[in-house]
Each structure stands twice: as C-alpha cells, then as structure tokens.
Structure 1
Amino acid sequence: MVRIDLISPYHGGSHKAWAEGWQHSSRHNITLHTLPDRFWKWRMHGGAITLARRFLAQKSQPDVILATDMLDLTTFLALSRKQTAHVPTAVYMHENQLTYPLPQDGRTGPMRRQLGERDHHYAFINVASMLAADRVFFNSNYHLESFFAALPKFLKHFPEYNELNAIDILSQKSELLPVGVQFGPLANSSVEPTQNRVPLILWNQRWEYDKNPEAFFAALYTVAEAGHPFELALCGQQYGKRPSVFKEAIEKLDSRIVHVGHADFATYRKLLWQADLTISTAHHEFFGISILEAIHCQTFPLLPNRLSYPELLPREFHDACLYDTQEALIAKLTWALTHRDEVQNMAGALATAVSKFSWQRMSPIYDQVMLNLCQNK
C-alpha cells in the first residue's frame, strides 16, 4: 500500500469530487490536505504556505505527494524540504491559468480586476509547479494539447532567458489521466423510468460566462418559437450574483421551467434521471463531469464538437451528439425533441459506454500510476 498526500488548495466542485472519489475507491492510503474553494488567487499564493505548515505538523511521511494545479508546488516544497526532499511529486491539471478563456467584456469572471487581460503570474505558477514535479497529469487530451500549443507563445512573452527548453522537459513528464466519476451515488433508486409528458431539458453546469449560456438559451428560444414543447430544469453551481442572461431566460421561459437554482443532491439525482436532454454550449471544458453524470443517468447529450467533448463519447455517437455550429445545434435539438424513442434508446447505450470513467474502472489505473511513481523515483 502506498501512502499518498493529496494537496488540494481549492477544494470544491470537480476538484473535491475527484479527490474524494479516488480516496474512497483507492486501495492506497490517501490523506487529503485541503482549503475551501474561495479566493482562488489567494489560494495560488498563500495556499502553499498554509498547507506546508499543516503538512509539517503531521507525524506520518507520505510515499507520494500529488498536488492539484491550484497549488504553488515550488513554495510548498521549499517550505517542507526537510520532509519532502526525497518524496516523489506529481501535479494533476484540472485546469490551468494559461488557456482558461477570458471574458469578452473584461468585467466578468475571474480576470475582471485585470480588465479582461490575463495575469501571467498565475500561469507561471502553473509552469513552475509542473517543472518542480516528477510527473504531470492532464485530465483530458484536449487539455494537454491546448496547453502545450499555448506554452511557446507564453514563454516568448518574457524579455530574455525565457526557458523555451522547458517545453520539451514538461512534455516528456506529462501524460493523460482522465478524471474518475462517482456514479454509484447517482443510482436510480426512486425515479420511475417513465417517459415525460414533454421532453425535459437539463442545464447542470456552472452559471458562468465560460459555459456560454447565451448560446444555450438562444437555441431554446428558437425551438420554442417553432412550437416544439419542452420543459427546462436549471440547476448547477452558482457563484455570487446570478448572471443577467439567466434572469432574462427565466422570465421568457417561465411556463416551461420546473426547477431553478443549485439543487441539493437528492433533487439533482432526481432531475438527472428525469431529464431527456442535456446541452452544452461551453467555450471552456477541460473534462466534463456534469455532462458524464447526466449521460450515466440516461440523459441524451448535445455537445460542441470541440474542447474535451469528443473524448467523452465513443466515435459511433459523434454524428448524433456533436454539433459544429449554432444552426447544427438547433437542428439536432429539433430532431431530439421530435424523435423521443430513438433518443431514449441511444441514451441507454451511451450510459453503458461512459461507465469506463467510473472510479471502479479508473481507481486501479490511478493506483498503479502512483505505485510506478514511487518505484521509479
């Protein structure tokens, strides 16, 4: 058994689900060192100091340290070097601060204080942490490739000694390690598998600009004006003030809406099983846990043919589920709303296909990767 200390400074949402899902399913002994998921910039600065202090206070010594991308690993290792100098380390890239999309208006989202400009310091924390680690894991191939495509331009931005050789060094130590998903708690224990009176469309993503809710609601307005009946459930995590696009949509689609707001787990599970369709119009997705949760519960997905989404679905489902333009989304949505039996049958097959992402399947892979890291140090 390997003793793993998992360092998660921004412990919430997908980061928390990933860490706790692996901890519960692993054959190894995993200790979580966490801080709440707020003040993300301060977490990337001060989180390493706080968590290094806590790490040094514990009595046990890990065999492996695995940090998320929100940790300044260089600072953490410097402050704990008496105990960590010979411990193999890895970084898990849920996301990164180099290719995370910026809002168009410069007033929305995490970069608003830079008026829409990217703060290179946080991207450099990612790069330095990756250089300090023995291995780097990306949650999707899209994430890995997009990061390394952007890295040369980022390093060339600096005036001299821009360390372009770091690209090859990082590439050689980086690999794909998809997220595991806890499908077990979503088991259908109380929802009757009956067809809804009209199709239910589910939004279960974050209520933020990078998920592009404008395009989602634009598609719904079009099919509504065409006379196609549907109902709508709007759940998903919200941060602060509700975006105005949701307020407008709730007013326009009021008679069709069956749920609004972040759902507790029991309600969320019920909505997943009741929903016929889930749609993503995202500008940004490095993996897609919420989409996989919906697919597991036999909800048919309509997803953009880009980002990480093509990796989630077997190729035989791409034609039915992936779209390239807004017009194609509307056409596929119209088809799905009017061919409910075909959609239901395909959703059942997809649920089986995505089971490869369950922690039951992924945990042995993670466990072996960590064992290899210990043995090869």
Structure 2
Amino acid sequence: MNICLLETFYTGSHKAWAEGIKEHLQANVHILNLSGKYWKWRMHGGAVSLAKKFNALDQEFDLILATDMIDLNIFLAQTRQKTHDIPVALYFHENQLSYPWSASDPDTQNGRNLHYGFINYSSALSADHIFFNSKYHRSSFLSEVDRFLHLYPDERNLDDLALLHEKSEVLQLGVNLQALDEFKAIKSSGPVQVLWNHRWEYDKNPKEFFDCLAQLKDEGLDFQLAVVGERFTQEPKEFRAAKKHFSNEIVHWGYVESAAEYAKILWASDVLPVSSIQDFFGQSIVEAAFCEVTPLLPRRLTYPELFSEDFLYDDLTLSLRKLLQSNTFKSARSEVSKYDWSKMSAVYLKRFENVVDGFR
C-alpha cells in the first residue's frame, strides 16, 4: 500500500505519530509536512502549501491520510485532478470545537475562534473515513458539532451528524514505547521526583499543577521537580513564577531535544500529577507510565478510558500528598504497553486497508 500522509504541524506528538507510521507499517509512506509553528496559519494556509507539494509528486497513492490541522477541502480542491479517485482518511489528534480556548486569546475575544472548528467540521464531511485517537475524543467532537450547528439561524444540515457517526471510528495512538527501555534505570531512593512532561500551554492547566506543589511544599513535604515538555513562543505565566518558587526542588527545567535524555528523565521520575483541562489521548502520560512513573489523573476527559481506577483522583492535592507521605508507587506499565507500535502497526494497516477496500 502506498500512503501519502499530510501533516501541516510537524512537531511533538504529531511528528512522532507520523514517523511511527512510516517506520512501523508494512506500507510505503510518503510524508508531506510543514514545520510545527503558527498553528492558526497552518490551519488556514497549510493546505495550499501541501497541495503544491503533492501536485509536484510523480507517484501514485492508494490512500491519503490527513490530520486535523489541515483544511482538507482546500487541499482536495487544489489537487482534484490527482486526488479525485483516491480515498481520504482524516485522523483527529485534537479538534478546535472541543478544545478549551483561552479567554485571553484574541480570536476568542473577537469571535473568530469558531472558524477553526468549522475547518475541522467541513474537513470531516469531505473525508471518506474519520479516525479519532480515543472514544472520548470521538464522542466530544460529535456532541460539539451538534452544539456548533445550532449556533446558526438556518441550513444547519443536522442530518450530517448521522453521516459523521457512520464513517468515524476510534484508532488509538501508536507510540514508540519500546525505545524507552534502552535507557531503563533503577529509580533513586532519594526524594520523590515529580514530573511535568506536557506542552507548556494553557490547556494543560499548569496553574493547578504548580499551586498543588506550592501547597505541599508549604506543608514541609520534600520532593524534587523535573519539568520538560515542548515550549512555544507564548507560554503561561505560571512557568516563570514556578521556576523561581521551586528553585531548590528543580533537577531539570526545559524542553529536551535528545530522546535519550528525555527517556532518562522519565525513568528517574516517580510520579506524574496531571491537571489538564483537555486531553484527547495523552501520549506524554503513556510514555511516562511505560517508564513506571505513577500517573495521577483527574476522573475526566480520556483518562478513565485509558487507565484503571487505581490512577484516577477526585482531588489532586489530596492524592499527591498521600503518595509523597507513603512513598509507595504503583506501575501502570501493563496498562499502556498495548499502544507500542509493535502491537498497533498491524491494527493501523488493517484499518487503512478497510478504508481503501470500502472506497472501491
């Protein structure tokens, strides 16, 4: 099978997923991508740039696999002479209808944020098949589409909801977990190492995370802190304040370019308190859990779908306090090992073959 994978935001988990497909699937995968920055502009103009790249290719494809950061309608319009007889699958890493926009975002303040959700909605309509990375993601998107369409006065086309239901399914993320074992190490018997390994962005709710740690520090509980994860041009103000407040606890601060160094930090950590207000899968959590870092997860979003009751909390500060006091940690490695590409590659290939067969 020959697959053309379109990714306008080629960084972080999006990049890792695309490279995983290329490396692990028994298929020929050609990746067309743009750098992972200026995400709003990528959703508007990225399709034009990738269409030009696609039209310049002298290659035939059995499947086009696009992700949610592209305006699929523009791409297909610009490439219709070459793509009219190729099935198109759309993979949602996230979507802008369910995503909790920050009140400080100028697009929210000026009512422009709805357009990004419309790009996701109209792209889903144009795709032959849709994949979501979790059950929670699929259900929340379809619910938000219904709410979104009811914002408008007429011609809502509500019957399209049934179509989106019918042609969508869950295909959870494949992750290169086995590569992390190369750097496996025995955890230190020193102070508990608390980990943050998510993007430094609003939806990961750094305020609750650092407020929790500040309270436990004031109570006299001892811990170390490793803060990694991808950083962007703008980042929540909480990080600057936390770097100063936890100067005595910090053992690492900042994004890690080296995969080896990142893995070593995961293996050295003990607990991953998660405070996110949005997460459609949680690759960084899966990676940490595979390295036997105990995840503490809110009883919401996709987490009850991916992890057992042992790792869910109702009160973050209470749960983390108990762990720090008991110094007893549970491993969730067995719950996330199934997402390694060694197990997921065959699943992906079969799903893609089904899309192609259904198009004929």
| Same fold? TM cut 0.5 | yes
Asked if 1:42 corresponds to 2:41, the answer is yes
Relative to structure 1, the CA distance from residue 242 to residue 137 in structure 2 (aligned partners, 3 Å threshold; closer, same or farther) is closer
Give the secondary structure class of the aligned counterpart of 2:154: coil
Asked if 1:186 corresponds to 2:180, the answer is yes
Greater shift in the superposed pair: 264-273 or 296-305: 264-273
Runs (5+) with no aligned partner, structure 1? none
Q: Residue 337 of structure 1 is aligned with which of 324, 332, 336?
A: 324
Runs (5+) with no aligned partner, structure 2? none
Asked if the contact 2:273–2:316 (Cα under 8 Å) also holds between the matched residues in 1, the reply is no
Asked if the contact 1:98–1:150 (Cα under 8 Å) also holds between the matched residues in 2, the reply is yes
- Displacement, 1:338? 2.4
Query: Cα RMSD between the aligned structures?
Result: 1.4
Asked if the contact 1:102–1:118 (Cα under 8 Å) also holds between the matched residues in 2, the reply is no
- Displacement, 1:352? 2.3
Relative to structure 1, the CA distance from residue 149 to residue 241 in structure 2 (aligned partners, 3 Å threshold; closer, same or farther) is closer
TM-score (norm 2): 0.96
Asked if 1:255 corresponds to 2:255, the answer is no
CA distance in structure 2 between the aligned counterparts of 1:116 and 1:97, rounded to whole angstroms? 16
CA distance in structure 2 between the aligned counterparts of 1:121 and 1:197, rounded to whole angstroms? 50
Q: Identity over aligned residues, as a percent?
A: 40
Give the letter for the 1:339 counterpart. S
Q: Residue 136 of structure 1 is aligned with which of 130, 135, 149?
A: 130
Give the secondary structure class of the aligned counterpart of 1:17: helix
Asked if 1:207 corresponds to 2:189, the answer is no
Give the letter for the 1:79 counterpart. Q
Give the letter for the 2:318 counterpart. A
Asked if the contact 1:8–1:33 (Cα under 8 Å) also holds between the matched residues in 2, the reply is yes
Greater shift in the superposed pair: 42-51 or 86-95: 42-51
Q: Residue 366 of structure 1 is aligned with which of 311, 332, 348?
A: 348
| CA-to-aligned-CA distance 1:279-310 (integer Å, 9 cap, x gap) | 11001101100011100111011011101111
Q: Residue 310 of structure 1 is aligned with which of 279, 304, 308?
A: 304
Give the letter for the 2:358 counterpart. N
Give the letter for the 2:244 counterpart. E
Q: Residue 109 of structure 2 corresponds to which residue in structure 1?
A: 115
CA distance in structure 2 between the aligned counterparts of 1:221 and 1:44, rounded to whole angstroms? 38
Give the secondary structure class of the aligned counterpart of 2:297: strand
Asked if 1:300 corresponds to 2:294, the answer is yes
Asked if the contact 2:192–2:222 (Cα under 8 Å) also holds between the matched residues in 1, the reply is yes
Give the letter for the 1:158 counterpart. Y
- Displacement, 1:242? 4.4
CA distance in structure 1 between the aligned counterparts of 2:119 and 2:236, rounded to whole angstroms? 30
CA distance in structure 1 between the aligned counterparts of 2:340 and 2:112, rounded to whole angstroms? 35
Q: Residue 334 of structure 2 is aligned with which of 320, 328, 352?
A: 352
- Displacement, 1:116? 6.9
TM-score (norm 1): 0.92
- Displacement, 1:227? 1.6
Q: Residue 313 of structure 2 is aligned with which of 297, 315, 323?
A: 323
Corresponding pairs, count: 358
Give the secondary structure class of the aligned counterpart of 1:201: strand
| CA-to-aligned-CA distance 1:32-70 (integer Å, 9 cap, x gap) | 010111122221122111111111111111000110011
Asked if 1:72 corresponds to 2:71, the answer is yes
